[in-house]
Structure 1
Amino acid sequence: MRDASWSSTMEVSFALTGNGYVLLAADMSAVHSIIKVKTDVDKIKELSPHLLMSTSGEPGDTVQFAEYIERNLRLYHIRNIYPLQPPSAASWIRRELADSLRSRSPYSVNLLLGGYDTGTYTPHLYWIDYLGTLAEVPFAAHGYGSYFALSLLDRYHDPEATLEEGLAVLRRCVDEVSKRLVVDPGKYLVKVVDKDGIRVVEL
């Protein structure tokens, strides 16, 4: 149990908001104890055309919970024609985590939820942990990388930054983690969501 929890905290994910977009970055490594199993894992789930969710935690829980959330949000979209907007989706996801915490099989998953509200034309970013804590934030991080990245994000984050400037801030975070963390997570996957939808961008 101790090895598994240590492995999940070695995962690194960052997110920040900018002028009309949200950027999410997550490492692509799958780790079991001291072994790196894979280096091409996509930990950023596309929940709807304008909603992304980055997961970290116990490997089985992250996959199951992400797929459960994706299927239910897709079902809502089919039934109601319109998809859930980010604030509503965040509240529902938080409730699902809180309910699972009070069950016999709670999910051990930390989340970063980023989305673009097509009704108000504003980006939203939410920090959610395995206890069901929810906070809307301008930037966020999970894992051991957060110890090094949060101070950089606090110093360099600009809510009016262009996409290129936002990527530059993410590069600072990745470089700092690779220099200071004992085990470098390696490759990162970066996705952006804005008025045009979701796409992968090069870091």
Structure 2
Amino acid sequence: MENSFALVGKGYLIVAADTTAARSIVKMKSDQDKIKALSPHLLMTYSGEPGDTLQFAEFVERNIRLYQIRNLYPLRPSAAASWIRRSLAESLRSRHPYSVNLLLGGYDIASDDPHLYWIDYLGTLSEVPFAAHGYGAYFALSLLDRYHDPNATLEEGLATLKRCIDEVSKRLVVSPDKYKVKVVDKDGIRDVEL
């Protein structure tokens, strides 16, 4: 019952993920941060099998940091997305594939614009203006399709995201009650309260 949403606006990217850790019908905790900061301008939400998600998220974080240490500059969002897609595709062809769905987003300092990538457990990669994973995607994608404006201000983008979260809580039988929301722009990553 995990949900994650993201959308790109004019000069920013908003990412939201629920904070519930559940297994089957049991809620184990309600304060888990499912958004991993990979570099000062790059973040990723993850959902899927609990062991796989944490292990893969830490694997990605460590390798992206290693790249930055070795080369003295961070990976751009498109390069990070390609590397993550290749890692998932290679694991899919191994004996122990990762069952992880990702939304990768970041602000590219070189081209001065935000990027969002939708990646699933099969290694499918697509650059999109908005995205969602989980059961909440069935309700949120239609709202994002209708109300997303690529030239919207940050406040308008947050209002669209709030509309998606409200719709999921109204329509989904077992809906998460809390979400963690982060924004990445030219100034870096920061938490935002809805």
TM-score between the two structures when normalised by the length of structure 2: 0.99
2:52 is equivalent to residue 57 of structure 1: no
Matched with 1:95 is: 86
- Tell me the CA shift for residue 184 of structure 1: 1.5
Matched with 1:151 is: 142
Determine which of 169, 172, 188 is the counterpart of 2:163: 172
Q: Distance in 2 between matches of 1:28 and 1:164?
A: 22
2:153 is equivalent to residue 162 of structure 1: yes
Q: Which string of whole-angstrom CA distances, capped at 9 and with x for unpartnered residues, describes residues 35-60 of structure 1?
A: 11000000000000000000000000
Q: Distance in 1 between matches of 2:12 and 2:97?
A: 32
2:60 is equivalent to residue 69 of structure 1: yes
Secondary structure at the aligned position of 2:63 is classed as helix
Q: Distance in 1 between matches of 2:94 and 2:176?
A: 33
Determine which of 128, 132, 144 is the counterpart of 2:119: 128
Secondary structure at the aligned position of 2:141 is classed as helix
Quick one: percent identity of the two aligned structures? 77
Q: CA RMSD in A?
A: 0.4
Runs of 4+ in structure 1 off by over 4 angstroms are: none
Q: Which string of whole-angstrom CA distances, capped at 9 and with x for unpartnered residues, describes residues 36-93 of structure 1?
A: 1000000000000000000000000000000000000000000100000000000000
Matched with 1:6 is: none
Task: Name structure 1 gaps, 5 residues minimum.
Answer: 1-9
Secondary structure at the aligned position of 2:161 is classed as helix
Q: Distance in 1 between matches of 2:47 and 2:23?
A: 13
2:129 is equivalent to residue 141 of structure 1: no
Matched with 2:31 is: 40
Q: Distance in 2 between matches of 1:153 and 1:118?
A: 26
Q: Which string of whole-angstrom CA distances, capped at 9 and with x for unpartnered residues, describes residues 135-182 of structure 1?
A: 000000000000000000000000011111000000000000000001
Task: Name structure 2 gaps, 5 residues minimum.
Answer: none
TM-score between the two structures when normalised by the length of structure 1: 0.95
Q: Distance in 2 between matches of 1:86 and 1:120?
A: 11
Determine which of 85, 90, 96 is the counterpart of 1:105: 96
Secondary structure at the aligned position of 2:94 is classed as coil
Q: Distance in 1 between matches of 2:73 and 2:186?
A: 15
Q: Distance in 1 between matches of 2:23 and 2:128?
A: 31
Equivalent position amino acid for 2:95 in 1: R
2:155 is equivalent to residue 197 of structure 1: no
Secondary structure at the aligned position of 1:22 is classed as strand
Secondary structure at the aligned position of 2:95 is classed as coil
Determine which of 71, 76, 79 is the counterpart of 1:85: 76
Determine which of 164, 176, 189 is the counterpart of 1:185: 176
Counting matched residue pairs gives 194
Q: Distance in 1 between matches of 2:192 and 2:141?
A: 22
